[in-house]
Amino acid sequence: MILIKGSRVLDPASGTDSRADLVIEDGVIKEICPPDTFGGRAEADYDQVIDGTGLVTAPGLVDVHVHFRDPGLTYKEDIHSGAAAAAKGGFTTVVCMANTKPLADNEETLRYILEEGKKTGIHVLSCAAVSKGFKGEELTDMEGLLAAGAAGFTDDGIPLMDGPFVLKAMEEAARLDTVISFHEEDKAFIRENGINHGAVSDQLGIYGSPSLAEDVLVARDCMIALETGARIDVQHISSGYSVELVRLAKKLGADVWAEVTPHHFTLTENAVLEYGTLAKMNPPLRTELDRQMLIAGLKDGTIDMIATDHAPHSREEKDKPLTEAPSGIIGLETALSLGIEHLVKAGHLTLVELMEKMSLNPARLYKLDCGRIHEGAPADLVIFNENETWTADRFVSKASNTPFLGKTMTGKVKYTICGGKVVYQDQTSIS
């Protein structure tokens, strides 16, 4: 048994925010007790006692958008290093994208990812591809892939451009009661990806990627979702106008969910001038107005989730010229801190609301049994100090491609518990 004594316990499902003792046994939360009562037992009766004084205990974080590059690109990341990075960041569940090599458009590759994931200590789920070969022409065997364990479906990285194909995919997703996640960038409007079309791209002498590329596909897919009743996820939303489109779609009754990354609600296109390729991602960082509209979307519930789009690349790849380097940054180990600093301490969200975006709602999207703290619930928990500072200079991930490298962060994970087992412990924590 594990006792977490006297911590501030947050449950986003009930809105609870109060001090309590938690007793963990057989992988579940057995008891939630008044603080310092120890569940009616002596501390010596427990296998491990975690002193939660000054710490916050919340449901383990859930990330619905990660790239672990396994199989095929394991020099960037693999399932085990990615899962370790997730655990350090407080995540107990992650959903991998399908753009592996080979693609996860078949049961064999999907099963490999899931089986390796079972060896990591956290819950590693995976989407399967919507289209065979990511060509956007022929549906995968969605029913068979679901039976093999797919969490949902996405061609993330390759936008689906054919409207009738998208309609067919959503009709099938609605029939199967599953999720399709969409990377919304119409390549017809993009000349150089990863950099916003605007003042910074003008300064760099390139055209870049306008928000229009995102907006037109978000509008299309919101309306198809409304027509079909499909449950869809608008991935890594970056445009303020796209937030408005999602807001309208929800008002009309569409089952549309939206995710935003920490880098999109903390940085603007100006970061490209300071950090170069480390600030290059798809969709790109946009204007301060876009950033403020993203935050407004988080505050009013238009944006349901915070997801990292954890996208590791090698140093050699990111050292290429701006227009040649791959897009994407890592994010699992810095996400919670960025949420605390830029959303909670900035006065936009409460800690409970942040946990709703980082745990409860992602679990709801995929109908997972997590994201809540109550007696009998799985003991998937993160314990953190919301005020402790640390330097983002040593990553468990194989990669370090992030503009936050070397930055001082506020909010530090002390323990991550998954299935009742401690899968990460900060070296400075005392058990």
AA identity, residue 254: A
Q: Which two tokens stand for residue 163?
A: 């409207």
Task: Tell me the C-alpha distance between 169 and 180, whole Å.
Answer: 8
Residues serving a catalytic function are 309
Return the number of other C-beta atoms located less than 10 Å from residue 427's C-beta: 4
Three-state secondary structure string covering 219-249: HHHHHHHHHHCCEEEECCCCCHHHHHHHHHH
Closest-CA residue to 67 (of 292, 386, 331) = 331
H or E segment at 181? Answer: strand 179-182
Closest-CA residue to 64 (of 230, 303, 307) = 307
Q: What are phi and psi of 42, to 5 degrees?
A: -85, 150
Burial label for 358, CB within 10 Å (0-12, 13-18, 19+), is buried
Return the number of other C-beta atoms located less than 10 Å from residue 5's C-beta: 22
Q: Which two tokens stand for residue 273?
A: 């001038």
| 157: β partners | none
- 8 Å CB contact between 94 and 103: no
Q: What are phi and psi of 320, to 5 degrees?
A: -70, 165
